[in-house]
Amino acid sequence: MSLFNPSRDQVREFFFNTWHKFKQNQLLEGVEKIAVQVMQSHPEYHAILGNAKRYMQQQYFPEIGETNPFLHMSLHMSVLEQISINQPIGITTVYQQLIAKHQNELDAQHELIDCLAETIWQAQRNQQPLDTENYLLLMQQKVTPH
C-alpha cells in the first residue's frame, strides 16, 4: 500500500484490519494505534468496522447527508498528524484554543476536520494545490468567528 496515495480499498482495508487486530488484542504498530484511538472515539462506526464484507464496497453520498466513515476517520488521522508536528505552523495553538472553547478534544478535532475538508474541496474544485494560508485562516475563524 502506498502510504501517500492509497486507493479507497486500501484505506478501508487498513481500518478493517486494524480494528480486527484491536478486537483480537493483537499488537498494534505506530499508525495503527492512532487509528484505533480515532475508531474508539466513534462508536457509531464500530458495526461498520466489524463487517468488512458488507462495507468494503459501500458507497456514501454526501449530497444526501451521508458521511463516509472511512474518509472521516482518515481526516481525523491527518489532523492529528498535523497537530503532532505543528504543520501547518500554528495548528497546534489553534487546536489548544478549540479544546478550551469546546472542553472536548473530539469536538476540537471535528472543527479542524471541517477546515481541512473545505481546503481539500477548494483545491480540487480549482485544480490548485492546497492553500495552507486559507486553511490556517479557516482554522482561526473557528476560534474567533467574524
For range 136-143, the mean pLDDT: 96
Question: Tens digits of per-residue pLDDT, 7-36?
Answer: 999 999 999 999 999 999 999 999 999 999
CA within 13 Å, CB half, 58:
17
Residue 145 has pLDDT above 80, yes or no: no
CA atoms within 13 Å, Cβ hemisphere of 54: 5
Per-residue pLDDT band at 51 (split at 50, 70, 90):
very high
pTM for this model (two decimals)? 0.91
User: Phi and psi dihedrals of 40, rounded to 5?
Assistant: -65, -30
Model confidence over 56-66: pLDDT tens digits? 999 999 889 99
Beta carbons within 8 Å of 102's beta carbon, 6+ residues apart: 108, 111
Distance between CA atoms of residues 116 and 108, nearest Å = 13
Q: Give me 143's grid cell.
A: 476560534
Q: What is the pLDDT of residue 2?
A: 42
Give yes or no for a contact between 75 and 116, defined as CB atoms under 8 angstroms apart: yes
Among candidate residues 144, 138, 86, 81, the one with its CA nearest the CA of residue 112: 138
pLDDT at 4 over 70: no
Task: Report pLDDT digits (tens) over 68-112.
Answer: 999 999 999 999 999 999 999 999 999 999 999 999 999 999 999
